[in-house]
Structure formats: C-alpha cells, structure tokens
C-alpha cells in the first residue's frame, strides 16, 4: 500500500492520537474566521484524488458552515400569520455546496475545482475547497487542468457544476 492509502485508512479509523489532534484542530478552527486560506490541504490524499496539485495556481480554502436548517426573516408588515413561517426551513443545497459558493464569492478571481469534508462539531461543519486561478500561466500550460481557463467554466460553483453541485441536482449518486 502507498502513503495515500494509509492516510485514507487513518481518516476512516483514527487512532487515539489522531482523535486528539483533530479535537485540538477544531478548537483552533472555531476561533478563526469563516473563510480561511490554508497553505496545505488537511487531507492530502483526498485533495490529490479530487485534482489538487502542489503547484502555483492552486489554492486551498477552509470554509466553516453552520449546521442545521435556516431561518426566514420574520414578517414585519401586514397581518400576522399564525406561526410566522420563520423556523425549520431546510436549504435546498447541501452544506458542502454552500461552502463552495461562499469560497467562490470571497475569491472571485479563482474557480472552484472541488471540495471535501474535514471536520465538524455540534455547531459547525468545515470543508476545504480546492480553487484554481484560471489566469495563472502554470495552470494554462498544464494539460490536465487547462480546461478550467475556458470561458464556459466560469462560475462553476453557482451553476452546480462541481461534484457536490451535481450530486445535489441528482446527476450523480
């Protein structure tokens, strides 16, 4: 077995030491802003599987998304509906897709390639989003990823063209 296979195995069945490391990470991440640019992927095996390369033009962004349903604004004018229709609104998108869209809004010059889960506690979930700079010369020269620089791939996250987006649209199991 190679290194990435061992890393995947450890992620699925963590040892006590790894559980402690993850716990400390979450405590650290809670104090950070919702969207943070990261130097290296937390899960290198997963990132590589999803298309990440350790070269210029690739950026990793960690996004914190609040768990649970959403709330609608309370009606301010007119008659008062009996239950107001404020709570228990389930979003039509997964938390992962919401994380991708938030990262895309923050980094407008970058394009979302993919994303993966990195952790959660009782209140938040964290995802790492792999983003690519379509204008970087290293990306335009790379035969595997240069397709993302084409015009029709702009705004992939908002149009549901990432893996999480396609799953939410019922295009993949």
* First-residue to last-residue Cα distance in the chain: 28
pTM of the model: 0.91
**What is the C-alpha to C-alpha distance for residues 173 and 168, in angstroms, rounded to an integer?**
9
Instruction: Report the candidate in 135, 129, 69, 78 with the shortest Cα–Cα distance to residue 99.
Output: 129
pLDDT 10s digits, 15-74: 999 999 999 999 999 999 999 999 999 999 999 999 999 999 999 999 999 999 888 888
Sequence ranges of the domains in the chain: 26-164
Superfamily name and number for 26-164: Ribosomal protein L15 (3.40.1120.10)
Q: What pLDDT shows up at residue 77? A: 83
């Amino acid at each position: 077995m190679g290194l990435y296979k061992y890393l995947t195995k450890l992620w699925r069945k963590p040892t006590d030491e790894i559980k402690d490391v993850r716990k400390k990470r979450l405590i650290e991440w809670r104090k950070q802003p919702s969207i943070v640019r990261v130097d290296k992927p937390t899960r290198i095996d997963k990132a590589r599987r999803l298309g990440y390369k350790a070269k210029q033009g690739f950026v990793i962004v960690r996004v914190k998304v609040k768990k649970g349903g959403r709330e609608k604004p309370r009606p301010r004018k007119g008659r008062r509906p009996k239950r107001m229709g404020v709570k228990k609104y389930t979003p039509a998108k997964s938390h992962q897709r919401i994380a991708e869209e938030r990262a895309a809004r923050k980094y407008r010059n970058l394009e979302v390639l993919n994303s993966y889960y990195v952790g959660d506690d009782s209140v938040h979930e964290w995802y790492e989003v792999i983003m690519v700079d379509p204008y970087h010369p290293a990306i335009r020269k790379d035969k595997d990823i240069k397709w993302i620089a084409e015009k029709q791939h702009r705004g992939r996250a908002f149009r549901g063209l990432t893996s999480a987006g396609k799953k939410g649209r019922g295009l993949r199991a």
